[in-house]
């Protein structure tokens, strides 16, 4: 799985988990971040040269932080 596909799949899992949470300002803010991360990864498809490993790693770290934040909102449930 490419780095782009991995980011998109990870964020899609997070979005599915957020779909189980009651709507509210925190959920909307996290959803907005998640969609921004997907957009960032999709833009990589057309960028030459491809983003550096550091840039890709930074986005994956943001996705991990998002995952933790969503789990906290969901009471620590795993999706």
Residue ranges of the domains in the chain? 3-73
Whether residue 40 has pLDDT greater than 60:
yes
Q: Which CATH number fits domain 3-73: 3.90.1480, 1.10.8, 1.10.3470, 1.20.1270?
A: 1.20.1270
Whether residue 79 has pLDDT greater than 50:
no
Tokens found for residue 73: 């909102």
Question: Average pLDDT in the 22-49 region?
Answer: 93
* Pairwise CA distance, residues 21 & 37, whole Å: 20
pTM of the prediction?
Answer: 0.86
Tens-place pLDDT, residues 48-74? 888 888 998 999 999 999 999 999 998
Tokens found for residue 68: 């933790």
Residues 6+ apart with CB under 8 A from 63: 7, 10, 11, 14, 37
Question: Burial of 68 by CB count in 10 Å (0-12 exposed, 13-18 middle, 19+ buried)?
Answer: exposed
For the chain, how many helices (H) and strands (E)? 3, 0
Whether residue 45 has pLDDT greater than 70:
yes
């Amino acid at each position: 799985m490419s780095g782009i596909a991995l980011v998109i799949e990870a964020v899609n899992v997070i979005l599915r988990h957020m779909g189980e949470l009651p709507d509210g300002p925190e959920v909307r803010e996290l959803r907005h971040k998640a969609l921004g991360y997907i957009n960032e990864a999709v833009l990589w498809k057309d960028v030459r040269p491809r983003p550096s490993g550091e840039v890709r790693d930074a986005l994956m770290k943001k996705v991990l932080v998002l995952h933790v934040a969503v789990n906290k909102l969901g009471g620590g449930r795993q999706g």
